[in-house]
Amino acid sequence: MPPLPVLLRTERLTLRRFAAHDAELVVALHGDPEVMHFIGTGRPAPRDTVLERTLPEFLSWPGRPGEPAAALGVWAAQAAATGEFVGWFELRPATPGREEAELGYRLCRAAWGRGYATEGARAVVEGAFGGPAGPVVRRITATTMTVNRRSRRVLEKAGLHYVRTFFEEWPDYIEGAEHGDAEYAVTYAEWAAARR
C-alpha cells in the first residue's frame, strides 16, 4: 500500500490523514488506561466504540467541502525517523465558519516525555495561522482537566494562554474533576504579535 501524503511536518514528526489500516493503532491508543486517564470517562474506550465511531470520524475528514486539507482535521502522527505511530493531533471547528477551532491531541505512552506533544501542537497552530493563504481560523482553543499539569504545559508551550477554569457535570466521576477544567486559547493577532 502506498504511503499516505504528509500534510504537516516538524523536525521529528510527520502528520498525515488516517487510513483504515490504522484501526489497531487507534484501538491500542484509546484502550490504554493511562492515556485515557484524564479524557472522557477516564476509562479506556471499548474496541467497538473506536472501530464504529472514532475511526470512521477520523476517516471522514479528507474531502470535506471547503476545509483546507492541511489546516483543519485529525492527523496520525509518526516519528519522522522511523515511521512509528506516536498518536494523533486535531484541529476541529468549534464554531460555524472560520472563527474558532479546538486543538486536541493524544499520544501513546511510549511517546510521552519526548516533547512530541508540544512539537505537534505547535505545528497544528502554525498550520492554521501561518499558511500561505493566511489564517484559516481567528482563534484556537483547547481544554484539559485542571489537574492535568502536563497537558496544560504543552498548551502553554504551543502558544496558548490560560483563559479560565470552568466546571461541568459529567456522567462519570474522574479523579480531580472537582478542580474543574482549564480553557486555553490564542488568537491569530496574539500569535502573529508573538512572532515579531
Tally of domains within the chain: 1
Q: Kindly tell me if the per-residue pLDDT of 46 is higher than 50.
A: yes
Residue 1 lies in a domain: no
- The pLDDT assigned to 5 comes to 65
Whichever domain contains 152, its CATH number is 3.40.630.30
Residue 153 lies in a domain: yes
Higher-pLDDT residue of 115 and 136 is 115
**Three-state SS for 125?**
helix
- The reported pTM is 0.90
Residue 146 lies in a domain: yes
Residue 123 lies in a domain: yes
User: For 44, which DSSP code?
Assistant: P
d(CA 140, CA 160): 8
Sign of CA dihedral 90, 149, 154, 156: positive
Residue 38 lies in a domain: yes
Q: Kindly tell me if the per-residue pLDDT of 10 is higher than 90.
A: yes
Residue 82 lies in a domain: yes
Domain hosting residue 13, numbered range: 6-194
Q: What value does the mean pLDDT of the chain take?
A: 89
Query: Radius of gyration (Cα) for the chain, nearest Å?
Result: 16
